[in-house]
């Protein structure tokens, strides 16, 4: 799908957005070719925050490499760790206890809400509303407190280990999560009133950054970005892992194909995650939180691939093992990279002022794109 | 577009803005809810599991539980921990391995908790201290076992 590089006509202007720019949420450089106010081409330049995480993982053992993946998509670090742990467990054929499965799913969904909350605040801030940023951080703080109690860290948790989870839940966990559910249900409706229904917000989002269903599939978009274009791509529904096949939740799909549908998908997904948590919070089974594993993990010779649904889309973990204690090769299929590749197609013909709305609804996390 | 539709649109737009402004007004008149804190003066109680730095627990007799097995050194992904061992003479005249220095590089540590999980004798744990700013990087390299400390009786 390589687009023809159009020659620069007379009167065209090339400007840089980034690498240091408030609306890029990280070190992303966009080289934008403009004709007046109309965008002709958007060229993302990557690599400013490349840390060669895949290469680093090759020198770390199967217990150690999981913590590095928290630094890829730092807003859904729990789900990254989950994907890696699942891949190691698949290779070792470790059966993990029911309690660990439930804890993992609970933590995943809390992380998803925290990530979408932060995105919601940042999205509204990009479009000129400053208050939502503070409001969303206030609620997100409740989740980071829950994480801090149980996992010991607020952002890079490193809580999931091959065979289960690192430590048992904090005694206060259930009480705090229930308090959060109550708080969220109260506040989220207020937020919809404040932002979603706002006429200025809607006019800036509707029919902006249109990505058709066919294009979303051919660019490899996943997650809320593709579901906003009507693509059925939730890994939790299509390839259920852990206990997702026993849970009742809807895959949120909007068919508007524009920025506003992608916005609605994320907002509705928060309610779905809350309903998953409500189903599980009173039914955490008793038992071990970790399966007994060998001190030194050695994956058998072969190739292993697992995928999980992060807050941004499908994360694939591919491990090639030669039978040693360290992986021979690791490849991560990150959702952000594929989603970003659709930006040029979405932005072409649009206005420069709408570029921020398009970038905002892609929910870019630059360390995830560069790795 | 008909004139009625035009007026309807204006009405809807003004209504949506007023609903949003109602929220703003609510927060303007109900400013009792304070969610920030004056950080250096007021300090929040941190969670008991919060990972700030690795410490070695010593009891009142200045005894620790570290046998020098290097399980933490092997578990660490960043080479944060370096254990220097020495041989001590036991009363029976046998040579016994013991730690000389437990060197901990705080500047390399990512607080992943893998060393604490790996320790077979619970000699090290995570501490809540998080204000680690110093003027010189060399001050971040710490020796965790206190001077003159020795291994607790019965810990193998």
Q: What is the ipTM of this complex?
A: 0.79
pLDDT tens for A300-354 read: 888 999 989 988 889 999 999 888 888 899 999 888 888 888 888 888 888 888 8
Residues of B with CB under 8 A from a CB of A: 12-13, 16-17, 19-20, 22-24, 27, 35, 46-47, 49-51, 75-77, 110-114, 117, 126
Q: pLDDT tier at A7 (50, 70, 90 boundaries)?
A: low
Q: Is residue A95 one of the residues assigned to a domain?
A: yes
Instruction: Name the residue among B12, B35, B51 with its Cβ closest to that of A152.
Output: B51
Phi and psi of A315, rounded to 5°? -105, 120
Task: Tell which phi-psi region holds residue A97, choosing left (phi > 0), alpha (psi between -120 and 50) or beta.
Answer: beta
* Out of B14-23, B28-37, B135-144, least confident range: B28-37
Q: Is residue A346 one of the residues assigned to a domain?
A: no
Residue numbers in A near B114 (CB within 8 A): 63-64, 67, 158
Q: pLDDT tier at A23 (50, 70, 90 boundaries)?
A: low
Residue B113 to residue A166, Cβ atoms within 8 A:
yes
More confident residue, B45 or A214: A214
Q: Check if A237 contacts B (Cβ < 8 Å).
A: no
Instruction: Name the residue among A67, A150, A199 with its Cβ closest to that of B17.
Output: A199
- State the average pLDDT over residues A282-293: 85
Q: Is residue A37 one of the residues assigned to a domain?
A: no
Q: How many domains does chain A have?
A: 1
> Domain residues for A130?
49-338+351-366
Residue A318 pLDDT? 92
* Out of A9-23, A281-295, B73-87, least confident range: A9-23
- State the average pLDDT over residues A12-34: 80
Phi and psi of A317, rounded to 5°? -120, 120
Helix locations, B30-130, DSSP H:
71-75, 114-118
CATH number of the structural domain spanning residue A232:
1.10.645.10
Instruction: Name the residue among A141, A149, A194 with its Cβ closest to that of B20.
Output: A194
Residue numbers in A near B23 (CB within 8 A): 190, 193-194
Structure tokens at A25: 């949420």
Nearest CA in chain B to A139: B35
Are the C-beta atoms of residues A28 and A369 closer than 8 Å to each other? yes
Residue A149 to residue B49, Cβ atoms within 8 A:
yes
Number of other CB atoms surrounding residue B129 within 10 Å: 11
Q: pLDDT tier at A195 (50, 70, 90 boundaries)?
A: confident
Q: Is the pLDDT of residue A163 over 50?
A: yes
Nearest CA in chain A to B47: A149
Q: Is residue A331 one of the residues assigned to a domain?
A: yes
What string of H, E and C letters represents the secondary structure of B49-78? CCCCEEEECCCCCCEECCCCCCHHHHHCCC
A19-28, A269-278, A295-304, B31-40: which has the highest mean pLDDT? A269-278
Q: Is residue A179 one of the residues assigned to a domain?
A: yes
Q: Is the pLDDT of residue A1 over 50?
A: no
Share of chain B above pLDDT 70, in %: 96
- State the average pLDDT over residues A137-146: 88
């Amino acid at each position: 799908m390589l687009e023809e590089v159009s020659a620069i006509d007379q009167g065209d202007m090339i400007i840089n957005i980034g690498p240091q720019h408030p609306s890029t949420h990280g070190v992303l450089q966009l080289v934008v070719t403009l004709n007046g106010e109309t965008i002709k081409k958007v060229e993302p330049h990557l690599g400013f925050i490349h840390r060669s995480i895949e290469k680093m993982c090759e020198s770390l053992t199967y217990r150690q490499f999981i913590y590095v993946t928290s630094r890829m998509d730092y807003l859904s670090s729990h789900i990254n760790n989950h994907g890696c742990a699942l891949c190691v467990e698949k290779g070792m054929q470790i059966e993990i206890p029911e309690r660990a499965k439930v804890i993992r799913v609970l933590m995943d969904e809390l992380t998803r809400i925290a990530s979408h909350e932060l995105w919601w605040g940042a999205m509204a801030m990009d479009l000129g509303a400053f208050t939502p940023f503070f409001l969303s951080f206030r609620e997100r703080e409740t989740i980071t407190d829950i994480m801090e109690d149980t996992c010991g860290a607020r952002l890079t948790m490193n809580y999931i280990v091959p065979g289960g989870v690192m430590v048992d839940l904090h005694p206060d966990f259930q009480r705090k999560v229930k308090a959060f559910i109550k708080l969220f249900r109260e506040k989220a409706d207020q937020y919809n009133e404040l932002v979603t229904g706002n006429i200025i917000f809607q006019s800036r989002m509707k029919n902006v950054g249109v990505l058709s269903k066919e294009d979303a599939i051919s660019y490899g978009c996943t997650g809320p970005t593709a579901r906003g274009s009507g693509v059925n791509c939730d890994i939790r529904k299509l390839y259920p892992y852990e206990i997702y096949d026993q849970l009742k939740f809807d895959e949120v799909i909007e068919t508007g194909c524009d920025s506003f549908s992608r916005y609605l998908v994320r907002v509705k997904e928060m309610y779905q995650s809350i309903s998953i948590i409500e189903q599980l919070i009173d039914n955490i089974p008793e038992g071990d939180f970790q399966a007994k594993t060998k001190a030194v993990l050695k994956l058998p010779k072969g190739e292993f691939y697992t995928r999980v649904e992060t807050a941004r889309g499908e994360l694939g973990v591919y491990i090639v093992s030669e039978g040693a204690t360290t992986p021979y090769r690791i490849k991560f299929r990150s959702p952000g990279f594929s989603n970003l590749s659709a930006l040029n197609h979405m932005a072409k013909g649009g206005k420069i002022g709408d570029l921020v709305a398009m970038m905002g609804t892609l929910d870019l996390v630059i360390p995830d794109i560069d790795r | 577009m008909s004139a009625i539709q035009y007026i309807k649109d204006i009405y809807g737009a003004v209504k949506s803005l007023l609903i949003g402004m109602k929220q703003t007004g609510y927060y303007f008149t109900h400013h009792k809810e304070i969610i920030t804190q004056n950080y250096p003066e007021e300090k929040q109680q941190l969670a008991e599991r919060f990972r700030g730095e690795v410490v070695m627990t010593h009891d009142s007799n200045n005894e620790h539980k570290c046998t020098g097995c290097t399980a933490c050194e092997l578990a660490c992904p960043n080479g944060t921990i370096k254990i220097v061992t020495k041989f001590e003479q036991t009363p029976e005249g046998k040579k016994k391995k013991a730690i000389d220095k437990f060197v901990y590089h705080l500047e390399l540590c990512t607080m992943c908790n893998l060393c604490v999980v790996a320790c077979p004798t619970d000699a090290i744990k995570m501490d809540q201290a998080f204000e680690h700013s110093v003027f010189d990087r060399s001050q971040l390299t710490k020796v965790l076992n206190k001077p003159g400390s020795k291994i607790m009786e019965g810990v193998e």
